[in-house]
Structure 1
Amino acid sequence: MNRSEGFTEERARAVLEAADGPRAARAAELLSLGENAVFARDDVVVRVGRDAELLPRARRELGVAEWLEKENVPAVRAAEPGARLVEGHPVSYWRRLPPSVRPATPTDLASLLRRVHALPEPPVALPRRELLSGVERWLRLAGDAVREEDADFLRERRDAIEARLPALVPHLPPGPVHGDALPRNVHVGPDGPLLLDLETFSSDLREHDLVVMVLSHDRYGLADDAFAGFVRTYGWDVREWEGCATLRAARETASCAWVSQHAPGNPAARREFDRRVASLREGADEVRWYPF
């Protein structure tokens, strides 16, 4: 079952109406529907969470936004300081961004990561970056749509990687990381690039944020010059670090398992899952993966 199943636009609008009144609910434009229903209204974006379990995460994300604003790091800003529970759903308010002036680049991302990675620990408590924590749940959601031997292979790979993680010796001082550091999580407005999607902010090895772009280059077709620009702007190539292969393997394993949950009833997801598992089994590090 998809995590957003049963969470419809109609239900989200009913929550919005309970929170802000019928006129505000009618005026809101639905931007996206997933774990959160995201509505735009005038200069505000309202996020309605799928269920009450997301309330602590919503509050943490708002705390991160407030902290980044105080530290003058360009990022999405909160319109109100706290999230509240309305009819069993967390509701939070954000400032609406102006239209983008151009697509974000890896260089934009690198400049923002440099600023985040220079920060000390925030006043809000951040979790560890548990890349592999969702593997079991995603494989369970996949059920019989993926071969049992493939699911077992990913579980064994996860366990082996988790056993290696405590021994990693970081090159960079550990601390706050974005957690899903990709250009798609950067918005370039009239005032320049800023960070989006603060829900994955964590406190862990800074190398986590850099390995993401290694995978983008090796698996998803990021051009050599674009990756070189990322490295040049950040100031260090994480591939020089001996722990890079372990963090890359962790993200690959998580990304493969994530696709599996979409395999039931979706042949394209099943084909992409099979492609990814086969490349991991064969140690074929340069086999192209496709976003899903």
Structure 2
Amino acid sequence: MSTSPHEADLRTNVAEHVHTPERTRPIAEAAARMAGLDPQGVVLIRHQTNGVYRLTSAPVVIKVAPPGEDHLGEVVALVSWLQDHAVPTVALWGDPAYQPLEIGGRAVTLWHYLPQERPVHAADVAEPLLALHDAPLPPFPLPPLDAFGEIQNSIASSPLLTDQDRSMLRDLSAQLAHDEPLQASGSAPGLIHGDAQHRNTLLDPAGGAVLSDWDSAVIAPREWDLATIEVHCRRFNHPPEEYEEFCRRYGRDIREWSGYEWLRDVRELRMITTNARKSPPGSPAAAEVRRRLDSLRKGETSIWNIL
């Protein structure tokens, strides 16, 4: 029997909202034991798309994916390939052939922990991102970017949105999709990170930077990654000179591209709708999503709080 789009949306929503630290911590501890590591004192680093934990007994980070995520094998293969092609990336811990682990219906990956002695700046992202964009296509398939499909799924499955919200967001998505052929073409589709930004970049002990969190890697024009950096710098109120330094190191300012404003709006809509899907009702994250929606409805340009 086929599953209707509405049923699929509901299943996605239910899966994400049972993805809590109470459920993922025991899985992270079990993964540590399976890898021969001491799970005592596991520390939660972040819990949004993945439950991310750090061991205190070894320099290891454990990432627990939400239910239904079945692409972690591709992520492991991609990271191994990136290392072979000198793209700066955080390394998997142990033998990649044994990852991902499958525990309690969740995919789990283990990574080297890199202690961070200062905040990441936009300029730190430039060199590893340029190395990624200059890399050839990998010899295995990766999905193409489907920005509008993801936006529509998030609108349909969010527990936060009112009927008026959904109508506004669908109208905006339809208008942006209609305008897409009017935009100047960007670079040829290639391998992109998909969510290149400060929190998905880590400083390594040698003083350089590496990219992390490869779950969103797709085949698409590199402008998507460049717009992501610009949106994060502007919306999250990073000093303008930090973005200018990113542009100098990367060698390009996306704002000079004729399709910039259109892609900026698509990227921001994707961020709003994704967070609307992931944020539990009544949470601080849900309140931030509501604030962004109110600003969007009023046509205001506001600073966002990072989620």
User: Please, what TM-score do these two structures have when normalized by structure 1?
Assistant: 0.84
Per the alignment, residue 71 of structure 1 pairs with 85
How many Å separate the matches in 1 of 2:101 and 2:39?
A: 20
Number of residue equivalences: 286
186-195 vs 16-25, greater mean Cα deviation? 16-25
1:289 aligns with 2:304: yes
Percent identity between matched residues is 26
Per the alignment, residue 203 of structure 2 pairs with 188
What is the Cα deviation at residue 160 of structure 1? Answer: 2.1
Secondary structure, in 3 states, of the residue corresponding to 2:215? helix
How many Å separate the matches in 2 of 1:35 and 1:260?
A: 13
102, 114, 125: which one pairs with 1:85?
102
Maintained 8 Å contact 1:101/1:190: no
Amino acid of the residue matched to residue 117 of structure 2? V
CA offsets, 1:189-228, max 9 Å, x none?
Answer: 2112111111111110100011112222432212221111
TM-aligned CA distance change 1:54 to 1:25, over 3 Å: farther
Unmatched runs of 5 consecutive residues or more in structure 1: none
Per the alignment, residue 142 of structure 2 pairs with 126
Per the alignment, residue 74 of structure 2 pairs with 60
Amino acid of the residue matched to residue 288 of structure 1? I
What is the Cα deviation at residue 108 of structure 1? Answer: 0.8
Amino acid of the residue matched to residue 91 of structure 1? V
Secondary structure, in 3 states, of the residue corresponding to 1:46? strand
Maintained 8 Å contact 1:49/1:90: yes
Per the alignment, residue 162 of structure 1 pairs with 177
CA offsets, 1:50-95, max 9 Å, x none?
Answer: 32x213x21111111111100112111123223243442223332x
CA offsets, 1:80-114, max 9 Å, x none?
Answer: 223243442223332x2231232211111011111
1:104-143 aligned at under 5 Å gives the runs 104-143=120-159
24, 44, 49: which one pairs with 2:65?
49
What is the Cα deviation at residue 34 of structure 1? Answer: 4.5
What is the Cα deviation at residue 20 of structure 1? Answer: 4.1
How many Å separate the matches in 1 of 2:19 and 2:123?
A: 39
1:231-242 aligned at under 5 Å gives the runs 231-242=247-258
What is the Cα deviation at residue 28 of structure 1? Answer: 6.5
Per the alignment, residue 36 of structure 1 pairs with 50
Maintained 8 Å contact 2:132/2:191: yes
Maintained 8 Å contact 1:279/1:287: yes
How many Å separate the matches in 2 of 1:121 and 1:91?
A: 26
124-133 vs 101-110, greater mean Cα deviation? 124-133
Secondary structure, in 3 states, of the residue corresponding to 1:72? coil
Maintained 8 Å contact 2:202/2:210: yes
What is the Cα deviation at residue 260 of structure 1? Answer: 2.9
What is the Cα deviation at residue 177 of structure 1? Answer: 0.8
Maintained 8 Å contact 2:114/2:204: yes
Secondary structure, in 3 states, of the residue corresponding to 2:147? coil
Per the alignment, residue 168 of structure 2 pairs with 153
Maintained 8 Å contact 2:33/2:39: no
Give the root-mean-square deviation of aligned CA atoms: 2.9
User: Please, what TM-score do these two structures have when normalized by structure 2?
Assistant: 0.80
Per the alignment, residue 5 of structure 2 pairs with none
What is the Cα deviation at residue 118 of structure 1? Answer: 0.7
Maintained 8 Å contact 1:146/1:263: no
What is the Cα deviation at residue 142 of structure 1? Answer: 4.0
Once superposed, which parts of structure 1, at least 4 consecutive aligned residues long, lie more than 6 Å away? none
Amino acid of the residue matched to residue 76 of structure 2? L
TM-aligned CA distance change 1:237 to 1:29, over 3 Å: same
Per the alignment, residue 282 of structure 2 pairs with 265
